Amino acid sequence: MIEGRSMGEKPKKLIGELLIEDGVLTRDNLLEALDHQKKNGGLIGQILISHGYITEENLVAALGRQLDIPYLPLQNYNINPENAALLDEEFCRRNFLTLFDADDRNAYVAMSDPLNQTALRELESCLRRRVHVFISTSTEIVNILDTLYSTQRKKH
């Protein structure tokens, strides 16, 4: 059983509104980014980051609130390399996720896209544990994976 929000639920507020509420984005900057999106396409969060209006952490924290999935800043967490060894490095890199904690019945995973149902089903099948999902930035996940798997390679 995967913990988290059901796919049919509509997010309570738009991401731009949440970022304004957080005090990290102005309404004028949001309107500029929306205008850019209308003209050029793209994801509003990525546009806001590329224009320097918000950080990746700001976006992921707001997305976590929007989706009701907790944000886990991975740089503040010590990950046991033995847990990481439970998953294939290529799978983790392809899906931007890391297993940061586990016991016999539960697995705690940080993902940049916690709505990736294919990856979540594969995780449950592979780990044979209840998967608890947290959201983290892609950058945080890549940095953790680089550290974890370079450490594992040195041991072999």
Rg (CA), the chain: 17
**What pLDDT is attached to residue 83?**
86
Tokens, residue 68: 């009701």
DSSP code, position 71: B
Quickly list H helices, the chain.
Answer: 15-21, 27-40, 44-50, 56-67, 81-84, 89-95, 117-127, 138-155
Average pLDDT of the chain is 90
Beta-carbon contacts of 73 under 8 Å, excluding residues fewer than 6 positions away, are 57, 136, 140
Q: 22 near 61, Cβ under 8 Å?
A: yes
Cα separation, 150 vs 70, whole angstroms: 28
**What pLDDT is attached to residue 110?**
96
Cα separation, 145 vs 5, whole angstroms: 26
Residue 93: pLDDT band with limits 50, 70, 90:
very high
82 three-state secondary structure:
helix
DSSP code, position 136: -
7 three-state secondary structure:
coil
Cα separation, 104 vs 84, whole angstroms: 15
Report whether pLDDT(7) > 50. Answer: no
Report whether pLDDT(150) > 90. Answer: no
Q: Which CATH superfamily is domain 74-155 in?
A: Type II secretion system, protein E, N-terminal domain (3.30.300.160)
* Strand bridging mode 106-111 / 130-135: parallel
pLDDT in tens, 68-88: 999 999 988 888 888 888 999
**What pLDDT is attached to residue 81?**
85
**What pLDDT is attached to residue 17?**
95
Q: Where are the domains of the chain?
A: 15-67, 74-155
* Mean pLDDT for the stretch of residues 26-53: 96
Residue that the structure tokens 């707001």 belong to? 62
